């Protein structure tokens, strides 16, 4: 479903000029979403680890691998299967869309939520600060996958505009 009535070549200029940056989710809106997702991941991890027999976690490597799988699995699966939203993003009314205003492909989701998050975490979460200081309110994951995190207000306005153009 195309959320915007523009072609892909027009969108980058539209994002920067037509739609104000106030429609993009900034640092202080994204941080609570991330923290809430962290809480959900911790709960999920606790449930999974409680079900596993102790013999599964004999080495720190297996525990590390399982933690990595849970963390990235949460972000990849929820973002892809829930229209660009994790539970935290739903709570804060923000959504990830691609540069065409459409839902992400599996490839984009993998690069954004898998590789991008892994890089940000390995760099002590510092790349997340880019959201506060870049004009486009983007960080390394957004650059890797050509995505934007927008407030739901923007999505709703775009859908209304699309409906009006069809009529």
What's the confidence (pLDDT) of residue 55? 74
Residue 2 lies in a domain: no
In a domain, 4, yes or no: no
Question: Is 141 part of a structural domain of the chain?
Answer: yes
Domain membership of residue 48 as a residue range: 11-166
- pTM of the predicted model over 0.85: no
pLDDT at 167: 65
C-alpha to C-alpha distance for 90 and 94, rounded to whole angstroms: 6
pLDDT confidence of residue 158? 63
Q: Is residue 6 part of a domain?
A: no
Look at residue 122 and give its three-state secondary structure: helix
Is residue 118 included in any domain, yes or no? yes
Contacts 24+ apart (CB under 8 A), 55-62: none
Count of structural domains within the chain = 1
Residue 125 belongs to a domain? yes
Cα–Cα distance between 53 and 64 in angstroms, integer? Answer: 16
List, run by run, the mean pLDDT of 10-residue segments along the chain (167 residues).
Answer: 44 47 89 98 94 76 89 98 96 91 93 96 94 89 91 70 64
Q: Which pLDDT score is estimated for 160?
A: 64
> Does some domain include residue 5?
no
pLDDT on residue 99 = 82
């Amino acid at each position: 479903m195309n959320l915007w009535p523009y072609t892909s070549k027009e969108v980058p200029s539209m994002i920067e000029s037509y739609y104000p940056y106030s429609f993009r989710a900034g640092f202080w809106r994204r941080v609570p979403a991330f923290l809430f997702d962290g809480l959900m991941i911790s709960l999920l991890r606790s449930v999974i680890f409680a079900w596993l027999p102790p013999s599964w976690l004999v080495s720190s490597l297996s525990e590390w691998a399982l933690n990595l799988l849970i963390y990235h699995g949460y972000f990849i699966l929820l973002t892809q299967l829930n229209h660009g939203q994790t539970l935290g993003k739903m709570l804060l009314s923000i959504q990830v869309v691609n540069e065409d205003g459409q839902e992400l492909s599996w490839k984009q989701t993998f690069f954004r939520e898998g590789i991008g998050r892994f890089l940000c975490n390995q760099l002590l979460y510092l790349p997340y600060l880019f959201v506060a200081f870049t004009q486009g309110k983007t960080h390394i994951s957004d650059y890797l996958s050509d995505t934007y995190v927008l407030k739901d207000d923007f999505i709703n306005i775009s859908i209304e505009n699309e409906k009006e153009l069809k009529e």
